Structures are given as C-alpha cells and as structure tokens.
Structure 1
Amino acid sequence: MIRNYSRTFHWGRLVSALLLATLLAPAAQAQAPLPDSLKPTPGVYRHALRLDVGGILARNLASSGLGNSGILMPLLLGYERQLRPRLSANAEVLVNGGSPEERAWGLAAQGRYYYYQGRQTGLVGLYAAPTLSYRGIQQESGYGPEVVRRKLGGVGVLLGAQLPLGAQRRFLLDVSGGLMSWTRIGQDKIQNYRRGGGYYEEETYYENGSVFDGRISLGYRF
C-alpha cells in the first residue's frame, strides 16, 4: 500500500499553524495599544466643596493658650465653581467664628486664578485669589455689661495651593494665606448700655491694619 505522506504533512502543518495562532492571539491583543477613542478619560471636575479644619485647630489652640476652657467650633464652608480652565469663583460662609469674647460670622466672595497646574486640570494647582469679605462681630465689653455689634468689610489677596488626594483624586487639600484690610460699615449697635456710665470703645481683632488670613481646608470635587 502506498501512503500519501505529502498530503498528511500538509494537513499537519495547517493544524499546527492554527493552534499556534490561537495561542498567540490573546498575547498580541494584550500588548496592542488601545485606540484613543477606547482609552478611559480622566474625570472632569468643575465643582468643589471645602471645610476649613485649620481654623478650628488654630482657634482652639489659641483659646487654650489664653487659659479659656471649652471647645470652639468655627465653621468656614466654601463652594468653588470652575468658570474657565484656569479661572474659578469661590463663595464662603463663616458661622460661629472668632473667640468667646468676640464672636464672628460672615460671607466672602473670591476669584481664583490658577497660574500653575502642571499636567493637572480642574480646580487644582497654585493660585492667586483676590477676596472681598463681610464680617459681623458681637463683642463683649471688658469694662462693663455692654455688648457691641459691629459690621466690617474687608479686601485682600490670598496665595495658595489646592492639591488632589486619593486614588480617584476627588478629595482636596487646600492651603492658603494672605493679608486682609478691614473697615467699619455703619454704626455700632450697643446692648445693655448704661446711661451715664460711659462706654469704652474697643477695636476688634480685624481692626489692626492689615491682618493675616489663611485656610487649611479639606474638600471634595465633583
């Protein structure tokens, strides 16, 4: 009997080639770069919420150093919205600020320009922030029962850095510092005023020329 070895060899080579191609196909697909259209795009975050934790710590340390008891909880909340790639608008609300003798609350409007972001985008980087602020002050007199209510307006500039945290880079650390100048708005309102007893006018912390203002905040962008 004569066997056709050439035909058998031909089919053997074809089967071997198919098996080899099947084994190498997954590896080739894993190494091949994805088209740009299929690559995951980084998240675009145009909003951020922040809480100033540095102010809480600083106020309590200062109060403790002066021998005062109790815990102060000044809450400074901020909301930021991106307007352009490097420009944003920021609004802040202060509740229960100041010291036990000088309570403060208020609002602030801030524009931020991110002058250096590196390869990052979306409310992160080094920034300069012109700021307009309003403060309402309730001050207890150290020389009598009077309680003074005063309104102040402030203007200044803060320099800072906002950095992303976490695996998804949604959390933020915001650190800033600068100078603010304050002036009185309108007339003081005095409670418990003693007629004929005189009144000693005390200046608030803000009314000492240009004063330092800063933030150490934790935030979340979305």
Structure 2
Amino acid sequence: MASNPIDRVTDIIDPGDALGEVLFGLIMALTLTVGSRLVLEEEGLDAHELIVATIGCNVAWGIIDAVLFVLGTTFYKSRRLRLFRQIKAAGSETAALKMLAKEFPIDEAPFSAKAADADALYRSLLTLARRADPVKASLSKADLFAAIAVFFLVSVTSIPAVTPFLLIDSAHIALRVSNLVLIMLLFVSGYAWAKFSGGRPFYAGMTMTCLGLLLVAIAVALGG
C-alpha cells in the first residue's frame, strides 16, 4: 500500500515519466517568472497577469502532455498488438525469435545475460504469444488515471510559483521568492527521485538543479 504521495504517484505512472513531468512543469514556470523579470523590468511587473499567465501556461501544457500521453499509449499498445500478430503469422520459429529479439533487446539491459538464458527468455515469450489470443488495443482505466496524473503533475507545479505573489505585497520581492522556491523544488525533485535510480540524493538534486537552470537559460535566450 502506498505510504506517501510519491509512492501514490508512482503506482499510477512510471517514476521516470513522473519526474520528467514535474521537471517540465517547474521549468515552464521558472522560464515564465525569470523571463518576465527580464522583459518587464522597465515596464513594471503586474502580479495578477503573471499569476494568470503562469497557471494558464502550466495547465495548458498539462492538457497537451496528457493528450500526448494518451496518444503515445495507444500507439504503444497498437504496435504491440501488431507485433503479436506478426509473431503468430511468422513462417518459422527462427523468424519469430528474431522479431522478439529485435523488440526486446537484451544487450541494452543493465546486466550481462548469457546467450542461453536470453534464448530461453525469447522462447518463453514465443510460447506465451502462440498460446495467447489477440485482444483489442484499447485504453484502460489505469491509462486514463496515468493521463490525469500527467496533467496534475505539470499543472500543480504552477502553485509554488504563484503562491509568493499571493502572500507578498511587493511584486519584485515575490518574484525573487518565487524563483528561489522553484529552484529549491528542482533540487528536491532530483533528491526525492534518486531512490528510484539508486543514485546519491544530494548529487542527483544538484544535477537536476543545474540541468533545470541550464534549460531555463536556453529557453529564455531563445525567447521561450
């Protein structure tokens, strides 16, 4: 049973995908806040407009990412179904095994497997495929929940970005606090997800922070 929010999210969506969505949302929000300071420094900051723009941008991209996730999942399932049919229709066992080896390459796995073990794995998959019956490639409830999670992860990252503007009267001070909070969250995201990759939390947090700031700098420089 999931014991904390991170476990609940990773029960619905792959940890790597979840991390990517959180980072994307943070980078989007940080790009807006940093960019607004550079562009509107002379004109003066409008806190209300910045709040609306930040939330609107992240919500919009949350919807887009969720739709793309659904499309990607549909494509993945349809492709798997096509592979299954090709295996069933293969003219020989050798041809079917080659299809499986191409689709599930052992040499890309983070371990060294013996040729005999790899062959045994592919033969087991082939036996399973031949005995199984095809089903319609359709979205499941889990897929829809995952799409909702994608939308939520991207959208919710706008909240820490706009909260300082609701609590601090000075827009310029609120903007600095907002940027600081988002940078800290980049570190926290890398730190929290290090356990899924077996990395060192502090270094993962620092790497994620530096990478996020680099991407923000690129986005701002290119007018993003």
TM (norm. structure 1) is 0.25
**Larger % of strand: which?**
1
TM (norm. structure 2) is 0.25
**Larger % of helix: which?**
2
The structure number with the bigger radius of gyration is 1
